Amino acid sequence: MAVRLSRRLAILAILTGGLALAGSSPAQAAFTLTLHDTVTGDNLVVNDRILSVGDPNDASKFAGTISFEDTFGNFIVDITIHTTSPGTGFNGPMVQDVTITTNNTSSTTDTLTASVNSDGFTNPSVVGTTVGLSSALASSFVSSGGSATFVSGLNGQPTSPTLSLNKIGSTTAQTAVTVTTVPYTLTNTLAITLGGNGTAQFTGTTTVTPEPGTLALVLTAALPLFGLGYRSRQRRNQKS
């Protein structure tokens, strides 16, 4: 009887702890977009206007989304960035540069660089966990001679292979990375080079996924709890 009671109390403690974590509110995270024009040297930092104090350069009305639609340096830029920080929802940890449409209004070749920084990620929640850091780069239109590169990073270090694309299509890469701090930061940098009066549209995506070995370890650790629940139901059915 005492053993059965202690098991029930252990399960209750696990469930209560899980509910407490699910109901807690994460600390407000920083989310920024930095634009740079290579030829003019212009720089612009755009903060999430909801998470920060009303940055007028962010046209979005939603937390976790930055939209910039304006002239910058030699470029006409239309860019939307989205983050899932803290990354505990259905999509997991992800930072996506959605539909970057740009036009080089000058007569010379120029490069527009968009760097994104999003912190406050808590999935996975254990320091030392190995995850897969994935990068994806796609284009739906690019002028002749135009190209783009894309690289992702975790905790400020570019740790994924640099992707490149100079035509309509897509390319991906993944590398194993160890989470050294929690919360952690995801970054990515998309550089678009266009000839005079060139235009392009690119999408870059950074995601974090559990490594197969880590996922197997989590499932293995959960099996005793599943078995305990099954045995409890089986004993109740035998008594009835």
β-bridge mates for residue 75, sequence order: 72, 104
Q: How far apart are CA 137 and CA 172, in angstroms?
A: 6
**Pairing mode of beta strands 94-104, 199-210:** antiparallel
Q: Following DSSP, what letter does each residue of 93-126 receive, concatenated?
A: SEEEEEEEEEEE-SSS-EEEEEEEEEEEE-SS-S
Rounded to two decimals, what is the model's pTM?
A: 0.77
Q: How far apart are CA 188 and CA 186, in angstroms?
A: 7
Tokens encoding 60: 């979005």
Q: Give, for 18, the enclosing helix (H) or strand (E).
A: helix 2-23
Return the ∠ at Cα 238 (arms to 232 and 239), rounded to 5°: 90
Q: Give, for 175, the enclosing helix (H) or strand (E).
A: strand 169-178
Tokens encoding 233: 């139901």
Q: 147: how many CB neighbours lie within 10 A of its CB?
A: 18
Q: Give, for 220, the enclosing helix (H) or strand (E).
A: helix 212-239
Residue 52: what pLDDT? 74
Residue 67: what pLDDT? 96
Q: What is the pLDDT along the chain (240 residues), one digit of tens a residue?
A: 443 444 344 333 333 333 333 333 344 579 999 999 999 999 999 999 887 777 999 999 999 999 999 999 999 999 999 999 999 999 999 998 876 888 999 999 999 999 999 999 999 999 999 999 999 999 999 999 999 999 999 997 777 899 999 999 999 999 999 999 999 999 999 999 999 999 999 999 999 998 754 434 433 333 444 343 444 444 445 555
Give the chain's domains with CATH numbers. Answer: 29-223 (2.60.120)
Helices (H), 111-211: none
List, in order, residues 6 or more apart from 5 with CB less than 8 Å away.
Answer: none
List, in order, residues 6 or more apart from 220 with CB less than 8 Å away.
Answer: none
Q: How far apart are CA 87 and CA 183, in angstroms?
A: 10
Q: How far apart are CA 42 and CA 163, in angstroms?
A: 25
Residue 123: what pLDDT? 96
pLDDT in tens, 175-230: 999 999 999 999 999 999 999 999 999 999 999 998 754 434 433 333 444 343 44
